[in-house]
A and B are shown apart, each in its own frame.
Chain A
Amino acid sequence: MIEMFAEATLMLMRFDVIAMIAAGLTLGMLVGALPGFTTVMAMAIVLPISFFMEPILGIPFLIGVYKGGIFGGSIPAILVNIPGTGASVATTLDGPAMTRNGQSRKALEIALVASAVADFISSFWTIIVIGIIAAIALLIGPPEIAAILILSLLVIVVSSSGNFLKGMVMLLIGCFLAMIGQDPIGAMVRFDFGFHPLQAGIHLLPLIIGLFAIPEILIAIERRRANVVEKIEGRRAEGERLRWSEIVGCGKTIMRSTVLGAGIGMIPGVGQVVAAFMGYSAAKNASSHPETFGKGEIEGVAAPEAANNAVNGPTMVPLLTLGIPGDNITAIMLGAFVAQGLRPGPQLFQEQGVLVYSLLISMLIACVLLLVIGYLLTPLFARIVSINKAYLLPLMLLFAVAGTYVYRSNIMDLYFMIAFGIFGYAARKLEFDVTPLVMGFILLPPLEYAVGQSTLLSRGDLFGYLVSSRPITVAVLVLAPILILWIAHRQRKIARAAPAGSG
């Protein structure tokens, strides 16, 4: 294996390979930073270009677009509170707060470092133990997905701060909104109130852009200041750069999130969202100063960013070992492989081992290059906040509207976005946090799907089925209340230890 590694690495040491990865990263980052343009779309558009390149150039190019796009999505989440995807919603908990505190450059840089480091470690780990991960991936079926989702939701709810009742109300509203449209198992239309456009359900993008961007714009208008960030004499609006000591300070958080993300990465589809929130909750629970989370805590940016990028490694495993794509991104990668005449699966490893390893190693190179290119570009992005509000706010509105529409060219999505914008504004004024709503909206459908599938798989005897043939599910479900009690206990201890009034 060492020999194959060396040979594979040598194959990649070409100027054009490195240049293609760098081009992909830059392209991905720019596209990902535009709300509405998802990483999947960017990859689908450049896919045909890769058809006509050598495999060693075309596939690393796509990997570059992929990794650049995922990081790019965090940029508007941090700067202007517009998360382009579900995966970057957790980043809005502390990212925009850091920007408002005049630390946008620092926030972007810690996001970059956390993303690249976590991605590198998880990809490296994946390459080493790909066989074991593949075996575990086969053990994860609908009952396990349901159990892990339930556990995650409980952990996130218990460790979230703020008014518990308000949080639950928002969570339930989110769950209800997610139920509009066809039910996932029987495809029966529900809650459409006889209104045809509702049959297709509400899409995530108008919901998050509406809930986050529109209130942000309206509230910025209300504040009678020329800039989004308060200008302090003799200091730049984007603030200082990231210090080495701060990276070291976040080291533990990044590691914890990486482990969590690489574990949760087994859940196809929603892995990134769950990982980001779990990473955030875990960082907060472990922190000695949990009260600073949500107010511009640097670890609050590092944690979700590391977690959602650590998912990337494991999601490639079913594609490479079985030839089965778990989500849209890996499906596009599959397309790139087959168009090159390479058929991912067990045979490819035997026949083209060196090529497969060189593609895997190109993922590592992409992480390193991401750090370099990101480091060069973040100062530019960070300066966006120094634009005068009179120009920045209309631009934000333009991107919010264009981003919502461009996703699938559906005019209904714009109406939904405006409606959610008004709702989000009212919620902010009444001090309701909309994050639980988004979480419920994203996590309920896969949970409902998995529970429905599990019930069907059990052919009527759900309890007996779980006990007799689903040991992992039972273990997770037994572990859940223990973990919840432990977190609650810890929180009480910290609350007691902290002097009253300081939190």
Chain B
Amino acid sequence: MKPIKALILGLAAAVGLTGTAMAQDDFPNRPLTMIIPLGAGGSHDLNARVITSVLPEILGQPVVVQLMPGAGGQTGTAAAAEAQADGYTMLFTHNFIDQLQQHVANLPYDPNEDFVSVARVNTAQPILVVREDSPFETFDDLVAYGQENPGELRFGHSGNWGAFMVPGLALMQEVGVETTLIPYQGGGPVIQALLAGDLDFTFAFPSVLSGQDLRALMIVGEDQIIEGIPTSTELGFDTVSEIGVMHRGVMVPAGTPEDRLEVLREAFVTINDNEVYQTLMARMDENTAHMSGEEFDELRQRQADSYRELVESFQ
């Protein structure tokens, strides 16, 4: 099935390239679509609204957000995989949908074969938090207690195989702590549960942290975004840093003509210097750590392997 599909795609691309070589100059000449495999109102949706309010300036065409939630992101991703590889349909996703879902579900697509990256837009580093009045003053306190009392720590996360479960699971495996995992429906409810005293620890993105009665114990990833709080890289958990950070990225179906891909990749380089874009992202406490499509594709490949190991070790 796969080679046939690739052949057809290749042929279509070849015919498309020769047949429309002249029309390529004015790509894009009609509105573009950005599929989001998640629902309205989440942080991903908000990021997309910022991107699509600035991107039309650069591409000269409107960009329409199409929300296609369902099955942990599979529904929207599958639709993007089946879309025509003409550069007019983009997928705005993140690594926990993109690279992790393939190991926990049967997918009708192959994330690494069927997509090629336009850019990584930004990253979000989860921060391990406890309540301000928690007995755990440091990360070591938490680990020490967890090692002595297996299964006692209540770790709330924002959904199965999501942005908080993955770093938490990877981290707890590294330090040999067994916890009770409790899923909540999103990052809001899980913080509320922590504040209410139902949980011992969870994670939060920087945007949630300010002004709350929370204590940060550790930052997942490389950058020390809060002073005085250790990062997972600093503590020597390199795998956690690599797979636990959320990478938001834009992709197009494999087989999209090179020159069109180039136009899109260039647009995401340009948007990163746009002042409005920078301001809006900064207000939402999001960074603008752009990464080129080529580099991101390599990173995705590495993530795929790490996630497989994580999922296998958990099941």
Contacts and interface: CB of A to CB of B under 8 A. Distances in A.
Nearest to B196: A138
Contacts of A318: 188, 192
Size band of the interface chain A makes with B: 35 or more
Interface string B60-103: 00000111111110111001000000000000000000000000
A244 to B, nearest CB: 40
A196 B198 CA distance: 36
B19 interface: no
A48 B53 contact: yes
Contact of B40 (A200, A323, A332, A410): A332
B46 interface: yes
Contacts of B236: none
B263 interface: no
A324 B49 contact: no
Nearest to B285: A338
B34 to A, nearest CB: 13
Contacts of A348: 211
Q: Interface SS of chain B: helix, strand, loop or mixed?
A: mixed
Contacts of B66: 409
Interface in A422-454: 449, 453
Contacts of B283: 338-341
A348 B46 CA distance: 21
Contact of A44 (B40, B154, B185, B212): B40
Q: Interface SS of chain A: helix, strand, loop or mixed?
A: helix
A48 B57 CA distance: 14
A346 interface: yes
A328 B191 contact: no
A138 B131 CA distance: 13
Given A44-B45, A408-B70, A456-B180, A196 B40 contact: no
Interface in A312-329: 318, 322-329
Contacts of A43: 40
A203 interface: yes
Contacts of A456: 154, 180-182
A239 interface: no
Interface string A133-169: 0000111011000000000000000000000000000
Contact of A410 (B68, B154, B184, B185): B68
Interface of B: 39-42, 45-46, 49-50, 52-53, 65-72, 74-76, 79, 104-106, 108, 151-152, 154, 160-161, 180-185, 188-189, 191-193, 195-196, 198, 207-208, 210-212, 280, 283-285
**Minimum-distance CB pairs A-B, first 8:** A331-B41, A200-B71, A328-B41, A187-B160, A48-B53, A345-B211, A200-B70, A347-B211
9 contacts: A189-B105, A201-B71, A325-B188, A328-B39, A335-B49, A339-B280, A408-B70, A453-B182, A457-B198
Interface of A: 40-41, 43-45, 47-48, 51, 137-139, 141-142, 181-182, 184-187, 189, 196, 199-201, 203, 268-269, 318, 322-332, 335, 338-341, 343, 345-348, 408-410, 449, 453, 456-457, 459
